[in-house]
Amino acid sequence: MPSCWYLLETKKLTGGVARGFSSSELIKKICDSYKIKLFTVPIGFKYISELMVKDDILIGAEESGGIGIKGHLPERDGIFNGLLFCEMLASSRDKLSSIIKNIEGRFGKYYYKRIDKPLESNEQKEFLLKQAGSITEVNGFKVIRTDNLDGIKLIFDNGWLLIRASGTEPLLRLYTETFDKDHTSGILNDIVKKFKI
């Protein structure tokens, strides 16, 4: 998340960070490094906006790329964020690829992927979400804990998998993130086989 890193590292701004439940653990790594508070909310920018109005939030971000910045609007603004991105590039006098390499060198490299699978009925959705709660391993990775903030997140030593029904479409959304590209793909392939979807 280059914008978050830039606001903290270069601009020396303060405030917490709000992220959606399906967002990268890279955000947590950055927050831990700068000793700033991280708020994790259900999916939907409205939850981030509510926090931005009530609390001292420097940046709010969701998995789909929506970002809100303190001192502007408590809402997503692509034009403003595009300008902030240009400012970051001009300030650093570096290529984006070099900035990302620097961030990965400091915080690690994460491989994130999401796939959507159509749902035939509400009954199928309920069945799959119930089945998700009893999964103990995926692609050979043991589930060490779960989080049910919004859907079911299975947490492994090397990453996580979120199983969640879309709130707007008849889809099951499957998100995962690990430190290895093959593990990320393998987890998604295995859960699709387990669910037979």
pLDDT computed for residue 31 by the predictor: 94
Structure confidence at residue 126 as a pLDDT band (50, 70, 90): confident
Whether pLDDT at 59 is above 80: yes
Kindly report the average pLDDT of the chain as a whole number: 92
Same domain, 65 and 124: no
Same domain, 78 and 41: yes
Same domain, 80 and 129: no
Return the structure tokens found at 196.
């037979």
Whether pLDDT at 1 is above 80: no
Same domain, 84 and 135: no
pLDDT digits (tens, 9 = 90+) for 159-171: 999 999 988 889 9
CATH number of the domain bearing residue 159: 3.30.310.50
Helical spans, DSSP H, in the chain: 2-9, 26-34, 45-54, 78-92, 96-107, 122-132, 181-195
pLDDT computed for residue 122 by the predictor: 83
pLDDT computed for residue 45 by the predictor: 93
159 versus 66: which is more confidently predicted?
Answer: 159
User: Of 65, 87, 107, at which residue does a domain stop?
Assistant: 107
The tally of domains found in the chain comes to: 2
Structure confidence at residue 64 as a pLDDT band (50, 70, 90): confident
Whether pLDDT at 37 is above 80: yes
User: Of 57, 91, 107, at which residue does a domain stop?
Assistant: 107
Return the structure tokens found at 48.
């981030």
Domain that holds residue 42: 2-107
Whether pLDDT at 20 is above 80: yes
Whether pLDDT at 3 is above 90: no
Q: pTM of the entire structure?
A: 0.89
Same domain, 165 and 83: no
CATH number of the domain bearing residue 94: 3.40.120.10
Same domain, 155 and 70: no
pLDDT computed for residue 123 by the predictor: 86
Same domain, 176 and 128: yes
Same domain, 128 and 76: no
Same domain, 94 and 133: no
User: Of 64, 92, 107, at which residue does a domain stop?
Assistant: 107
Residue 138 · residue 160 · CB < 8 Å: no
Span 5-9, average pLDDT? 87
Report d(CA 180, CA 44) in Å as an integer: 27
pLDDT computed for residue 81 by the predictor: 87
